[in-house]
Amino acid sequence: MSSLLRRRPSPAAVIALLALFVALGGTGYAAVKINGKNLKNGSVTGPKLKKNTLTGKQINESKLGAVPKAKLATTATSATTATSATTATHALSADSTPAAASAASVAGQTIERFSITVANDGAPDSRTVGNVGLVASCAGGLSALEIHNGTAQAAALSAGWVSNAGGPDVAHRFADESFDGADADDIVQHGSGAGTAAVAFADGSVTTIDYGFMDSPQNSGNGCRYFGRAIGG
């Protein structure tokens, strides 16, 4: 046994052992030194990456393409889209009083608004709205409103209003089948309230007036007030 231990290894054994040590050492060295320079471009696939490890630091956002739906947002500055946006802005502004008041006609119907205040026992105030005339007065602080045919045509008038002269509400109905240019019919008889009058003319046109009224006591003693709109065409 001692003679075997004292035998020197053969050159072949020495070379084999040396090759084994180099191989083992080289593998460890490679495991420590592998980096991006040692990898072939495109050799690492998605499944080899650990999930949720990439962040914005590893990604160049400028190289990314547009998200499919996001392409629609880039057209927001185009002429067509800008025109639509302008139209939408105008649609919103139509809700405001100045914009609504500027509308001269809707679907061929002319719209006129009116507001009349007559002092207590003041001179009557005459206005023309559509194809009819209005005469507002305030004798003794009591409201009174007359309507006139503003044309030379034959016409028919139908009116209804509700008024309150310090007591219960009272409903009124009035009709004039021969409402010609000489007629002057009442569509307010004292108090405060609201009503609607419609005048149908021989040419087929119709003027409708929606109106409100306040006598002087209801108007804080500041005379009688009349307001509304006439629609005709």
**Strands, E assignment, the chain:** 105-106, 109-118, 125-129, 132-137, 144-149, 155-164, 170-176, 184-189, 192-201, 206-214, 224-232
Question: Looking at residue 169, what is its pLDDT?
Answer: 92
Cα torsion angle, 20, 22, 23, 25, sign: positive
Q: In what order do the strands lie in the sheet with 125-129?
A: 125-129, 132-137, 144-149, 184-189
Question: Looking at residue 99, what is its pLDDT?
Answer: 41
Residues of the chain with pLDDT under 70: 1-9, 11, 13-39, 42, 44, 46, 48-49, 54, 56-58, 61-107
Question: Looking at residue 205, what is its pLDDT?
Answer: 92
